[in-house]
Amino acid sequence: MFTRKFVMILTLLMVWSSYSYAERVKDIANVGGVRANQLIGYGLVVGLTGSGDKTPFAEQSLLSMLNKFGIHMPSGVKTKAKNIAAVAVHAELPAFAKPGQKIDITVSSLGNAKSLRGGTLILTPLKGVDGNVYALAQGNLVVGGLDASGADGSRITINIPSVGRVPNGAMVERTVTTGFDLGNTISLNLKSSDFTTATHLVNAINKKLGAGTASAVDGNTVEVLAPRITNQRVAFLSMLENIEVVPGEESARIIVNSRTGTVVIGQNVRVSPAAITHGGLTVKITESYGTSQPNPLAGGNTAVTPNSVVDIQSGGKGHMFKFPKGASLDDIVQAVNKVGAAPGDLVAILEALKQSGALKADLMII
């Protein structure tokens, strides 16, 4: 049952991938310079129930915080605090974020704290790669994990209790310049570089907005003439991002998940002549050609039509089987479905074909 469902999924994926649909510009490209920025900071979580750090830098951080509030501990005295944890705080600052807006943050333990559940992050500055502070973070942590231990040393851990989140836990303090309103052009960067898609994008924009509006820089970037006034540029981009484009077909690719046995096969995958044996699985693919002759008065042309026959037998001693030139993996998958062979057989065949150079596709094993 599992094998049949497995191969059925493969077949549906290949049939689905054989159709081309128009997609909006906003779904296949990003506007150059309009992107998020990464922020990071070092902070202290307090209020834990004995599950905190036992590291020197956590102790040092606590003493440093107390000194800022005018509390000076005698030299050499240890606080032996168990309710604190030194943490790394990171967040993503969206494009066009303005001071006063809030963003989510993620808090991760740096030391040996068992759990951050119930903790509170105290005020932490978040800096960008340039060293400037762009947001201030603070708030109660939401932790999805759980850690519990008994007096006899037994312990149970669910998910990751040493990582938590604070929704809307940071307030933006500085705006990042994007360059969105500079110059008389904007750049559209494809999410997946493809010369065909770039050409289709240029043609679709020029057809909608006039010849010469867009031009391709390379297989990833398309430059578009745009108004210089900010308000007009926003309206222009609103219209531009909703133009529909038919993307180019993906390159031949096969993705194999070695842990689950899942295989995703692209529509353009082909196999060149090869012979291979695998266990008790026998595959035979034969190809013949027929002639299509139109009626005398039909006005048509004589055409040669291919006729492929795929036969697979499972069981017994395995022996060599041959793939003819241009054989489609769609045929092989359908044949595997007929005999109920294991998914691992198909994966092993793909790996062997790739090693031999007969598989004309990128094989990615994850």
Q: What is the set of domains in the chain, with CATH numbers?
A: 37-172 (no CATH), 181-248 (3.30.1360), 253-365 (no CATH)
The confidence score (pLDDT) of residue 288 equals 55
What are the tokens at 212? 């010469």
- Alpha carbons 29 and 31: distance in angstroms, whole number: 7
The low-confidence residues of the chain, meaning pLDDT below 50, are 1-18, 152, 285, 310-313, 317-321
Question: Is 208 strand, coil or helix?
Answer: helix
- Alpha carbons 158 and 161: distance in angstroms, whole number: 7
User: Looking up tokens 């090693």, which residue turns up?
Assistant: 355
Strands 327-328 and 270-271: antiparallel
- C-alpha angle 39-131-116 in degrees, rounded to nearest 5: 40
Contacts for 348 with CB less than 8 Å, ≥ 6 apart: 278, 279
Alpha-helical runs (H) found in 143-222: 195-209
Cα dist from 144 to 62, 85, 90, 133, whole Å: 26, 17, 18, 29
Cα dist from 237 to 132, 185, 212, 214, 351, whole Å: 30, 11, 17, 13, 45
The confidence score (pLDDT) of residue 74 equals 77
- Alpha carbons 5 and 26: distance in angstroms, whole number: 35
Angle, helices 329-339/343-356, rounded to nearest 10 degrees: 150
The confidence score (pLDDT) of residue 16 equals 45
Question: Is 319 strand, coil or helix?
Answer: coil
pTM exceeds 0.75 for this model: no
Question: Is 87 strand, coil or helix?
Answer: strand
Question: Is 3 strand, coil or helix?
Answer: helix
